[in-house]
């Protein structure tokens, strides 16, 4: 966010609110991300599980991306997007938490982007003569943070005297949404479990829940209904009760 609470994608500080819209933290320096964000590991997944340290793991799960940005922003900074943002915030007394509202949030950000493009085309600096920047080694460690379409990115690099990278940590949007995606899948799956069987349409709903977050694993397929899925229903002893599968071609099976 900017100091005024306006959407900011390349600069500014970090703000965190809870599900009720209460402010948990404000003015966090992205370069100190490791002081307020932790990364947990689970033996059943290659992906890390980032969490907000003051709330611990897994209670400190959080979301990034369009929905999160609109929930923490006071304004978008452009006229039409601000009108839509005001209407968007009327959908809940606190933060707008329903994952399917990610899609509406993306549309509002797209409108904001179009308005900003119109403003930037009138910027005289576009015709300036300074078009090239020379870079050289000036420090051994650097941390960068920006807002990508699907969420916040943290890039942390350490280099040696020859400029070769010796250590790197990338905290990307998909991994930061990992805990939230898992919860969305669990909530959706539970709704479609009937006694000892899985109900029809479950796989489509699970896919829809995942796609709200626009994770790398789904956007790489570029087609609805072509995400390979396997859902298994097991009892408390681990015995398989039912399963539903859909290979990459989209044919559902039991």
Question: Cα–Cα distance between 6 and 104 in angstroms, integer?
Answer: 18
- Report whether 115 contacts 78 (CB < 8 A): yes
Do 181 and 160 reside in the same domain of the chain? no
Q: Flag whether 134 is in a domain.
A: no
Do 67 and 104 reside in the same domain of the chain? yes
Q: Flag whether 125 is in a domain.
A: no
Do 45 and 93 reside in the same domain of the chain? yes
Instruction: Give the rounded percent of residues in the chain with a pLDDT score beyond 70.
Output: 93
Q: Flag whether 136 is in a domain.
A: no
pLDDT band at 9 (very low <50, low <70, confident <90, very high): very high
Do 183 and 197 reside in the same domain of the chain? yes
Do 39 and 82 reside in the same domain of the chain? yes
Q: Flag whether 20 is in a domain.
A: yes
Do 162 and 182 reside in the same domain of the chain? no
Do 149 and 201 reside in the same domain of the chain? no
Select from 131, 1, 3 the least CA-distant residue to 70: 1
pLDDT band at 221 (very low <50, low <70, confident <90, very high): very low
What total number of domains does the chain contain?
3
Is residue 153 predicted with pLDDT exceeding 50?
A: yes
Do 115 and 19 reside in the same domain of the chain? yes
Is residue 25 predicted with pLDDT exceeding 60?
A: yes
Domain encompassing residue 215: 177-246
Quick: pLDDT tens for 31-63: 999 999 999 999 988 889 999 999 999 999 999
**Residue the block writes with tokens 């870079």:** 135
Select from 150, 254, 252 the least CA-distant residue to 204: 252
- Whole-structure pTM value: 0.86
Do 165 and 241 reside in the same domain of the chain? no
- Report whether 210 contacts 180 (CB < 8 A): no
Do 98 and 167 reside in the same domain of the chain? no
Do 72 and 145 reside in the same domain of the chain? no
Using the Cα atoms of residue 204, residue 207, residue 212 and residue 216 in order, give the sign of their dihedral: negative
Instruction: Give the rounded percent of residues in the chain with a pLDDT score beyond 90.
Output: 64
Q: Flag whether 64 is in a domain.
A: yes
Q: What are the two backbone dihedrals, phi and then psi, of residue 53, each rounded to the nearest 5 degrees?
A: -55, -45
Do 153 and 202 reside in the same domain of the chain? no
Buried-state track 143-174, b at ≥16 Cβ within 10 A, e below 16: bebebeebbbbbebeebeeeeeeeeeeebbbb
**Residue the block writes with tokens 């690099």:** 157
Q: Flag whether 5 is in a domain.
A: no
Q: What is the pLDDT of residue 220?
A: 42
């Amino acid at each position: 966010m900017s100091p005024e609470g306006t959407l900011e994608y390349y600069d500014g500080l970090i703000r965190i609110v809870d599900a009720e819209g209460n402010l948990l933290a404000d003015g966090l320096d992205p370069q100190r991300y490791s002081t307020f964000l932790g990364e947990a590991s689970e033996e059943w997944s290659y992906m890390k599980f980032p969490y907000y340290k003051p709330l611990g793991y897994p209670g400190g799960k959080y979301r990034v991306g369009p929905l999160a940005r609109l929930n923490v922003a006071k304004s978008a900074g452009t006229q039409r997007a601000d009108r839509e943002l005001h209407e968007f915030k009327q959908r809940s007394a606190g933060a707008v938490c329903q994952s399917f509202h990610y899609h509406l949030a993306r549309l509002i950000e797209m409108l904001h982007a179009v308005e900003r493009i119109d403003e930037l085309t009138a910027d005289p600096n576009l015709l300036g003569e300074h078009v090239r920047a020379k870079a050289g080694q000036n420090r051994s460690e650097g941390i960068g943070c920006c807002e990508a379409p699907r969420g916040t990115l943290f890039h942390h690099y350490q280099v040696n005297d020859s400029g070769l990278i010796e250590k790197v940590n990338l905290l990307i949007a998909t991994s930061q949404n990992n805990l939230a995606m898992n919860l969305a899948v669990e909530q959706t799956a539970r709704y479609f479990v009937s006694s000892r069987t899985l109900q029809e349409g479950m796989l489509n709903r699970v896919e829809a829940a995942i796609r709200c977050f626009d994770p790398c694993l789904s956007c790489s397929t570029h087609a609805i209904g072509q995400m390979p899925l396997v859902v298994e229903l097991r009892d408390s002893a681990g015995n398989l009760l039912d399963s539903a599968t859909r290979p990459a071609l989209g044919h559902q099976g039991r």
